[in-house]
Amino acid sequence: METVVDFSSYVWLLLLVAAFASGLVDAIAGGGGLIQVPALFSAYPDAHPATLLSANKVSSIGGTINAARRYLRHARLPWNILGPAIIAGFIGALLGALAVSVFPPEPLRKALPFMLAILLAYTWFAPSMGLENRPANKIGRHEVPKAVVMGLVIGFYDGFFGPATGSFFLFAFVRIFYFDFLHASAATKLVNVTTNLATIIMLTSLGFIDWPLGLSLMVANILGSQVGSMLAIAHGSQFVRKIFLIVVLALIARSAYSAFFSN
């Protein structure tokens, strides 16, 4: 186990602020890693990347569980879709985390801005999409295989690479299963908990984990998720949609810079 955190450093305090902001954004629309992962890499440039990614997963899983708990008080979800997606997401993330040791994630890193641009354009030009919750009208025998495929594919992506996983899940629940943005955000949190857990298990088994750093940031992440989920529940799907578009736009800019312009 590698430990990089210095609790006496002002850098750690800045990381707590980043973790809070990450939890807040992630609870509303996903994409909290856009804030927390760059902050970790800037704070500890000499640490092994897998150690910092594991700290991010440990931190974010606490906020994700808290957000899911709050959402479930206000959103009823169809478990015949959600259950298979959760199981498939866990399996997919395990396979993705294993694949990191064999295949380089570089092609995905370069493709990510373009995938996000398609997602942004589709959402932008369909202003009514995700504003009405209609999964009960669309559930049939073909929905379970769709949920399994969605969980496996996006779960694998989360374990293998990770950025924007929450945004991909949220979009999939809205577009494929006709959730509104609020219910899609709630469903995303539940599936994302399992993909985060699977990645943590795999990285821990490989020796890449920093529990002191991850757990300390988890506290701030949970506080942020508390605020974010409260805002989403209070303001509804239209608010979540707006934040989703902003987050995806920021993810496009960040991922494009990382893939094509950074050294």
pLDDT band at 125; cut points 50, 70, 90: confident
Residue bearing the bigger pLDDT, 11 or 17: 17
Domain boundaries, the chain: 10-260
Query: Hey, what amino acid is at 32?
Result: G
Q: Would you state the pLDDT for residue 32?
A: 85
pLDDT band at 93; cut points 50, 70, 90: very high
- Residues for the chain: how many in total? 263
Find all residues with CB under 8 Å of 151, minimum gap 6, and list them: 84, 85, 86, 87, 88, 89, 90, 91, 92, 191
Residue bearing the bigger pLDDT, 7 or 154: 154
pLDDT band at 2; cut points 50, 70, 90: low
d(CA 173, CA 243): 16
Q: Would you state the pLDDT for residue 129?
A: 78
pLDDT reading at 76 higher than 90: no
Residue bearing the bigger pLDDT, 131 or 78: 78
* pLDDT tens-place string over residues 133-164: 776 555 667 789 999 999 999 999 998 888 78
Distances (CA, A) of 206 to 43, 98, 108, 186: 23, 10, 23, 31
* pLDDT tens-place string over residues 220-263: 999 999 999 999 999 998 899 999 899 999 988 988 888 788 75
Our CA angle for 30, 248, 253, nearest 5°, is 125
d(CA 42, CA 64): 23
* pLDDT tens-place string over residues 101-116: 677 777 877 888 898 8
Q: Token pair of 181, please?
A: 């943005």
pLDDT band at 218; cut points 50, 70, 90: very high
Mean of pLDDT values over 85-97: 94
